[in-house]
Amino acid sequence: MELFDNLILGFSVAGSPMNILLCLVGVMVGTLIGVLPGIGPVGALAMLLPVTFYLTPTGALIMLAGIYYGAQYGGSTTAILVNMPGESSSVVTCLDGHQMARKGRAGSALAIAALGSFFAGTVSTLLIAVAAVPLSRVALSFGSPEYFSLMLLGLVGAVVLASGSIVKAIGMIVLGVCLGLVGTDVSTGVQRFTFGSPTLMEGIDFVTLALGIMGVTEIILNLARREATTEVISKIESLWPSREEAKASVGPVVRGTLIGSVLGLLPGGGGVLASYASYTMEKKLARDPRRFGNGAVEGLAGPESANNAGAQTSFIPMLTLGIPSNAVMALLVGAMMIQGIAPGPDVMLEQPELFWGIIASMWIGNAMLLVINLPLIGLWVSLLKVPYRLLCPCIALICAVGAYSVNYSITDLWFVAGFAFLGYIFKKVGCEAAPLVLGFILGPGLEENLRRSMVVGRGDPMIFLNRPISLALLTLTAVLILFVVLPHFRQSREVVFQDD
C-alpha cells in the first residue's frame, strides 16, 4: 500500500550513512543546546545555517531538525535536575520533575522523560506519515478567535498548575501577562513599558525570566533550606523507575501524545501549550491531585510526551503547506530555499524523497536520543551527588554565562539578578513562579489575538461564541473554571462544618 512504499523510500533515504551521521550530529548538538541554558535552537540554527550550504537538501534538513527535537530532550534534563527550563516547553517539567529529583528519584524522572518522549515521537511520526495532509487543514481552521480561546483555556489551566492558593496563582498569571507585554506592541507599534531602553524594546527574553525566577531562585531556595535544617538530601535511589511509577505513567504518556500531536499542528503557540494542557489534564484526572507539585510521576510523564509529540507535529504545516509554525520552522524554510527548494504545497509531491526522508529520520533521531540519553542518566545522577557547596557555584556560573550568551547584553544579566531576588520574595509569600512564566508566554499572544478578533469581528464579542471551535474551547474553559472553583468551596464548607 502507498504508505508502506513511502516509508520504505523514507527509510532508505534516511538510512544512508551520510544522513545517519548528520542525524547523529544534529541530535547531539541539540541535546547540548538544550542542556545549556541560554542559547536555544533558534539561535543555534541561525548560526549553523551557513553549514547547510555544503549539504544535500535532505541532509541539511535532517541535521537541523535533529537539533530542534534534540533540544527538547536536553531541556528536560536541566528542568528535572536543577529546575531550569531550557525551553518554554520545559517549564512544566520543572514542576514535578524537579520535585522527583529532590526526593531522590532523579534517575527515574529522567528515564520516564526519555521513554515517554520516545513513545510520543514514534506515534507522532506515524501520524505525520499517515495523516499529514488532512491534519494540515486543522492548522488552517484556527483563526484569531480560536487562538484566543485556546490561550485563555491555557491560562485558566495555569491556575491548575499551582498547588497553593488560587488567588495568588491568578495574581502571578496576571503579572506574568503584564511582563510579557513589555516591548513593542504588534498592532500599533507603540513601545510599552520600555523606559527608553533599547534592550527592553525587544521585550523581556524568556530565558532571562526563566533563568532568574526559576533557575537562580532555586539556588537561593536550596541554600536557604540547607540553612534551615542540617538534613542530608535524601539518598538517591535506583536509576530506573519503579513498577508503580511505570504503570502510572502509561495513561499520561498516551494522553500526552494525543494532546501534543494535535496542539503541535497549530502554528504559533500550539507546541508550547502541549505540555501545559497535558499537565492540567493529568492533574484533573488524578485520584489524588494534591500529589502534583510534589513529585507526581503523572505530572512528568504526560507533559514530556506532549512536548515531544508537539515538536514533531509542528513540522506538518511547514512540510505540507510551507507555513512555518515557529521561528525554528522558518529557519528550516530558509534552509530549503537556500538549497533551491521552494517550500509549499508542492513539496510533498515533487520531492517525495525529501519529505519522507525527513519523516523517517525523525523516528531515527528519536531512537538515537533514547540510546544517547539513557546511559547519560547515570552521569547526571552522580553529578547530583556532588556536595551542594561545590555544585552551587557551578550552577550559578552556568546561569550567568547562559543568560549572557543570548544577546551578549549586560542588562539581561541585571534582569536575571532582579528576577532571582524577586523570585525569593514571591516564594516567601506563597506565590509560585510557574503560573507567572506561563502568563508571560501566553499573554502577548492572548492580547494580540483578542485585539485582532475584535477588529475582525467589528467590535462584536460574539465572534468568540459564533465560531464552533472557539465556542468549544471557551466552554471547556468554563468547565475548567468550575472544576477549579467548586472543590475550593466544598473544602471551605467542610472546614466550616468542622468548626461547629
Partner 1 sequence: MNFKALLTAAALLLPATISQADKFPSGPVEIVIAAGAGAGQDIMVRAIAAELEKKWAEPTVVLNKTGGNQTIADGYVAKAKPDGHTILNFGPNRSLLAAKNDPNAGYDVVNGLVPVTQVNKQPMVIVTRNSLGVSNLAEFVELAKSAEDPMIYGDNGPGGILDLSARRLMVDGGFELTEVSYQSANDVLRALMGDEVDVAIVTLGVATSYIKNNMITALAVASAERNAAFPDIPTARESIDTDFAVEHWFGFFVPKGTPDEIINQLHSDIVEVLGTESVKNLLLNGGFEIVGNSPAEFAKVVADEVENWKALMD
Partner 2 sequence: MFRFNQDNAAGALFGLFGTVIIVLSQQYPLGTMRQMKAGYVPTVLGAMLIVIAVVLVIRGFSSTSEPMGRWALRPWLLVPSSILAFSLLVQTGGLVLAGVACMLLAAASGLEFRWREQIILATLVTGSAAMLFIKALGLPMTFFPAI
**Residues making contact with partner 2 (CB under 8 A):** 165, 167-168, 170-171, 174-175, 177-178, 181, 185, 188, 190, 192-193, 216, 219-220, 223-224, 226-228, 388-390, 392-401, 403-405, 408, 410, 413-414, 416-418, 420-421, 424-426, 428-431, 447, 450-451, 454-455, 458-459, 461
CB of 177 to partner 2, least distance (A): 6
DSSP secondary structure of 170-230: HHHHHHHHHHHH-EE-TTT--EES-TT-HHHHT---HHHHHIIIIIIHHHHHHHHHHHH--
CB of 255 to partner 1, least distance (A): 28
Measured from the CB atom, the residue of 167 and 479 that comes closer to partner 2 is: 167
| Phi, psi for residue 183 in degrees, rounded to 5 | 130, -160
DSSP secondary structure of 412-468: HHHHHHHHHHHHHHHHHTT--HHHHHHHHHHHHHHHHHHHHHHHHTTT-TTHHHHSH
46 binds, among partner 1, partner 2, none (CB under 5 to 8 A by kind): partner 1
Does 188 sit near partner 1 (CB under 8 A)? yes
Show the cell assigned to 265.
Answer: 499542528
Of 165-173, 187-195, 236-244, 387-395: span binding partner 1 (CB under 8 A): 187-195
Give the CA count within 13 Å in the CB-facing half-sphere of 282: 35
Q: What does DSSP assign to residue 345? A: T
| Residue 359 to residue 19: CA distance in whole angstroms | 13
For 439, residues 6+ apart whose C-beta sits below 8 A from its C-beta are: 155, 158, 172, 173, 174, 175, 176, 177, 179, 180
Show the cell assigned to 450.
Answer: 483578542
CB of 478 to partner 2, least distance (A): 18
42 binds, among partner 1, partner 2, none (CB under 5 to 8 A by kind): partner 1
Q: Helix axis angle, 270-285 relative to 144-161, nearest 10°?
A: 40
Whose grid coordinates read 538510512?
A: 15
For 282, residues 6+ apart whose C-beta sits below 8 A from its C-beta are: 252, 255, 256, 292, 296, 298, 299, 302, 303
Say how many residues touch partner 1, by CB under 8 A: 49
Q: Helix axis angle, 2-14 relative to 17-35, nearest 10°?
A: 80
Measured from the CB atom, the residue of 16 and 407 that comes closer to partner 2 is: 407
CB of 454 to partner 2, least distance (A): 6
Does 157 sit near partner 1 (CB under 8 A)? no
Q: Are 131 and 425 in contact (CB under 8 A)?
A: no
Nearest partner of 380 among 111, 85, 27, 88, judged by Cα: 111
CB of 4 to partner 2, least distance (A): 43
Does 133 sit near partner 1 (CB under 8 A)? no
Measured from the CB atom, the residue of 11 and 414 that comes closer to partner 2 is: 414
Applying the rule CB under 8 A, the residues between 205 and 234 that interact with partner 1 are none
Q: Pairing relation of β-strands 183-184 and 191-192?
A: antiparallel
Give the x-and-dash track for 449-478 against partner 1 (CB under 8 A).
---x--xx-x--------------------
CB of 390 to partner 2, least distance (A): 6
CB of 139 to partner 2, least distance (A): 27
171 binds, among partner 1, partner 2, none (CB under 5 to 8 A by kind): partner 2
Measured from the CB atom, the residue of 170 and 323 that comes closer to partner 1 is: 323
Contacting residue, 32, 126, 254, 327, with partner 1 by CB under 8 A: 327
Measured from the CB atom, the residue of 21 and 455 that comes closer to partner 2 is: 455
| Residue 90 to residue 275: CA distance in whole angstroms | 8
| Phi, psi for residue 192 in degrees, rounded to 5 | -105, 135
Give the x-and-dash track for 340-359 against partner 1 (CB under 8 A).
xxxxxxx-------------
CB of 400 to partner 1, least distance (A): 22
| Residue 167 to residue 318: CA distance in whole angstroms | 40
Summarize as ranges the residues that interact with partner 1 (CB under 8 A).
Answer: 42-43, 46, 49-50, 53, 139-144, 183-184, 186-189, 191, 198, 201-203, 267-268, 322-324, 326-328, 330-331, 333-334, 337-346, 452, 455-456, 458
